[in-house]
Amino acid sequence: MIEVSPDFTAKVFAGCGLDRYTTASSALGEMFVAWSDCGVSAVRIVSDEQGFEAWYRERFERGCVPAVEIDPIATAARARLQGEDVEVPVDLRDCSPFEERVLRKAAEIARGNARPYRWVARELGAPAAMRAVGNALGRNPVPLLIPCHRIIRTDLTAGGYVFGTDAKRKLLETEGVDFGAIETVTRRGFRYVGCERGWFCLPTCGTVARRIDDPGYMGLRNAEEAHEHGLVPCHLCRPIAA
Amino acid sequence: MAAVACASVPDDADALLAVALAGDVERSFEHLVIAYRARIVNFVARMLHDDARAEDVAQDVFVRAYRALKTYPAERRAALRLRSWLYAIAHNLTRNAFRDAPPPSDSLEYEDGAPRAALIDDEPGPEHLVLRAEAWESIGDAIARLSAALRPAFVMRYVDDLSYEEIAESLDQPIGTVKASAHRGLLAVRAHLEKNDD
């Protein structure tokens, strides 16, 4: 007697040109989570099923039906949306190569951090492509799983989001981003926060903005000031790219 | 015997599923896959004697079933006898692979279908041998040595517990023919098991 593989049904559905979806709890409430045999293909706030299915068919040119069974991909997605640190495969076949690069870069940004659009553009070697970066993030099919909410405006305010600016700010704050501290830094004209231990960061790198008045920390207006203090760019936030 | 191989799908569940498929193929299709995937994978594996390929071929069975369902009018979907219909698709997909394979060098039958090993008395019945879990490996070997003419009918009847009527539908053969094939397969498998027990 052969045991049937857990992804058997997903492969059958792939052959039929159909994906499946279920619901999952997240920091922003109930979500529709759709997936194919390649990974999670869409995350959207729960609305009426027919509307979601019509949107899915128009965007992905495949059908999507409510799942009867939950397989390993959907199980992993549910766990991630509830905050567990698990790997979730994502299906980005619908995205252009550039969009996929933008989204993979966004996926590198750790919880509790944020980076400006310009930072993403420079990291990808296309500093003039800020608008294209914004468009790619706006088309992110799997928000929350790929944390496009961690990309913010260059002035370090939240900026747009598929689920609204308020939701974006709430998510970032839940993850530990302190907008009050960041605004204090930028209002004082500082672009970076330096540490006497030898490095300087973006104000959105972890909790560094909160420490600007702590002993051993300092506000910096530009990279030249950092160099004058003998500081090197943080290897995590790579501030020069911003 | 079917309890050893796979849980069977009750006829009334099949009928309800057919009605659901008549209403909405896309939303009901996963129920069909869940109900039959284990049976079809294992049927394919026994037909091909190739566990590694069984899932790929079984997936193709369901994809073809889905495509067919999408073309059938609702009345035809509602009237489908799902079990024999799916086995027919599976049989058709495995038949070509079976036909292309070289004939087993150690076939259990002579060319006229008579078992090579000596027959023994009818009691205890070969079904009892089949029910013994420890004999399962030997049965797999025995099934692999059955010819293309006997293997489908034997597996459907004595492993997957289909009725002769369902087998006749699946194989598109008269009931008398499938009864004879299943029985001859049974005698050959039984003789093989008895020989191995010696």
Q: Any chain B CB within 8 A of the CB of A186?
A: no
User: Judged by CB atoms within 8 Å, which residues 114-143 of B form the interface with A?
Assistant: 136
Give the pLDDT score at B129. 45
Q: Which residue in B17, B24, B30 has the most chain A C-beta atoms within 10 A of its own C-beta, making it the best mutation to test that interface?
A: B30
The predicted structure's pLDDT at residue A128: 92
Chain A, nearest residue to B5 by Cα: A1
HEC profile of chain B = CHHHHCCCCCHHHHHHHHHHHHHCHHHHHHHHHHHHHHHHHHHHHHHHCCHHHHHHHHHHHHHHHHHHHHHCCHHHHHHCCHHHHHHHHHHHHHHHHHHHCCCCCCCCECCCCCECCCCCCCCCCHHHHHHCHHHHHHHHHHHHCCCCCCHHHHHHHHHCCCCHHHHHHHHCCCHHHHHHHHHHHHHHHHHHHHHHHC
Is residue A13 less than 8 Å (CB to CB) from chain B? yes
d(CA A145, CA A139): 13
User: CB distance from B50 to chain A under 8 Å?
Assistant: no
- Which residues 56-85 of A have a C-beta within 8 angstroms of B? 63, 65-69
Distance, CA of B195 to CA of B198 (rounded, Å): 5
A20: chain B residues, CB-CB within 8 Å: 30
pLDDT by position in tens, chain A (length 242): 889 999 999 999 999 999 999 999 999 999 999 999 999 999 999 989 999 999 999 999 999 999 999 999 999 999 999 999 999 999 999 999 999 999 999 999 999 999 999 999 999 999 999 999 999 999 999 999 999 999 999 888 898 999 999 999 999 999 999 999 999 999 999 999 999 999 999 999 999 999 999 999 999 999 999 999 999 999 999 998 66
CA distances from B53 to A16, B50, B94, B98 (A): 19, 6, 11, 13
The ipTM is 0.85
Q: Which entry of A64, A148, A201, A205 is annotated as an active-site residue?
A: A148
Using CA atoms, how far residue B148 sits from A92, B102, B166, in Å, is 45, 11, 18
Residue appearing with tokens 């009527």 = B165
What residues in chain B have per-residue pLDDT under 50?
1-6, 115-131
The domains of chain A, with CATH numbers, are 8-81 (3.30.160), 97-174 (1.10.10.10), 179-241 (3.40.10)
Kindly give, in sequence order, each residue whose CB lies less than 8 Å from that of residue B35, ignoring residues fewer than 6 positions away: B9, B13, B14, B17
CA nearest B3 in A: which residue? A1
Domains, chain B, ranges and CATH?
A: 2-100 (1.10.1740.10), 126-197 (1.10.10.10)
* A68/B62 CB distance under 8 A: no
Q: Which pLDDT score is estimated for A220?
A: 95
